[in-house]
Amino acid sequence: MTGAAPTPPRVFRDALVVTQDASRRVLRTDVRVEQGRFAHVGPHAPTEGAEVVDAGGLALVPGFVNLHTHVAMHPLRGIADDRDLAGFLETLFAVDAHRTESDVEAGARAGIAEMLLGGTTSFLDLYYFQDAVARAVVDLGARGFLGWAVLDPEMTTQKGRPLDNAAAFIGRWKDHPRVTPLVAPQGVYVCGPETWLGARDLAARETTLVHYHLSETRKEISEHEAKTGRRPADWLGEIGFLGPGQVAAHAVWLTGGEIALLARAGVGIAHCASSNLKLASGGIAPIVELRAAGVPVGLGTDSVASNNSLSMLREIHLAGLVQKNHRWDAAVLPAQQLLDLATIEGARALGHEGRLGSIEVGKAADFSLFRLDHPTLQPARPEALVSHLAYAAADDAIESVYVSGECVVDRRRLVRADWNQIRADLDAAANALWAARPK
Q: How do residues 115-160 score in pLDDT, each as one tens digit?
A: 999 999 999 999 999 999 999 999 999 999 999 999 999 998 888 9
Among 144, 156, 215, 152, smallest CA distance to 182 is for 144
pLDDT digits (tens, 9 = 90+) for 258-300: 999 999 999 999 999 999 999 999 899 999 999 999 999 999 9
* Residues 132 and 235 both lie in one domain: yes
Share of the chain above pLDDT 90, in %: 92
pLDDT at 3: 46
pLDDT at 32: 98
206 has a pLDDT exceeding 60: yes
* Residues 49 and 158 both lie in one domain: no
378 has a pLDDT exceeding 90: yes
Q: Is residue 222 part of a domain?
A: yes
Q: Is residue 271 part of a domain?
A: yes
* Residues 399 and 279 both lie in one domain: no
6 has a pLDDT exceeding 90: no
1 has a pLDDT exceeding 50: no
Question: Residue length, the chain?
Answer: 439
Rounded mean pLDDT, 64-86 = 95
CATH classification of the domain holding 22: 2.30.40.10
Q: Would you call the peptide bond into 307 cis, given omega within 30 degrees of 0 as the criterion? A: no
Q: Is residue 17 part of a domain?
A: yes
Rounded mean pLDDT, 208-231 = 97
Q: Is residue 429 part of a domain?
A: no
User: pLDDT class for 5, splitting at 50, 70, 90?
Assistant: low
Say which DSSP state 406 is in: E
pLDDT at 88: 87
CATH classification of the domain holding 290: 3.20.20.140
* Residues 326 and 372 both lie in one domain: no
4 has a pLDDT exceeding 80: no
Q: Is residue 364 part of a domain?
A: yes
pLDDT at 436: 87
* Residues 284 and 157 both lie in one domain: yes
CA distance 102 to 111: 14
Instruction: Read off the amino acid at residue 245.
Output: G
End-of-domain residue from the set 298, 331, 349? 349
pLDDT at 439: 75
Dihedral sign (CA 404, 410, 411, 412): negative
Spatial CB neighbours of 124, under 8 Å, sequence gap ≥ 6? 65, 66, 67, 68, 69, 145, 147, 209, 211, 247, 270, 300, 350
CA distance 372 to 54: 13
- In the three-class reduction of DSSP (H, G, I as helix; E, B as strand; rest coil), residue 157 is classed as coil
Rounded mean pLDDT, 311-339 = 97
Domain holding 377, by residue range, is 10-63+355-414
* Residues 88 and 55 both lie in one domain: no
Dihedral sign (CA 291, 22, 273, 157): negative
Q: Is residue 156 part of a domain?
A: yes
* Residues 165 and 44 both lie in one domain: no
Among 228, 145, 221, 220, smallest CA distance to 193 is for 228
* Residues 59 and 70 both lie in one domain: no
* Residues 245 and 271 both lie in one domain: yes
User: pLDDT class for 257, splitting at 50, 70, 90?
Assistant: very high
End-of-domain residue from the set 315, 349, 383? 349
pLDDT at 322: 97
* Residues 14 and 88 both lie in one domain: no
Rounded mean pLDDT, 59-78 = 98
pLDDT at 97: 82
pLDDT at 157: 83
* Residues 159 and 246 both lie in one domain: yes
* Residues 285 and 410 both lie in one domain: no
Q: Report how many domains make up the chain.
A: 2
Q: Is residue 209 part of a domain?
A: yes
pLDDT digits (tens, 9 = 90+) for 413-433: 999 999 999 999 999 999 999
End-of-domain residue from the set 297, 327, 349? 349
**205-222 as b/e: b if 16+ CB within 10 A:** ebebbbbbbbbbbeebbe
- Give the Å distances, CA to CA, from 286 to 25, 242, 290: 28, 19, 6
pLDDT at 146: 98
Element (H, E) at 420: helix 419-435
- In the three-class reduction of DSSP (H, G, I as helix; E, B as strand; rest coil), residue 101 is classed as helix
- Mean pLDDT of the residues in the chain: 96
Cite the beta strand spans of 128-238 per DSSP E.
143-150, 179-185, 210-214
340 has a pLDDT exceeding 50: yes
Q: Is residue 20 part of a domain?
A: yes
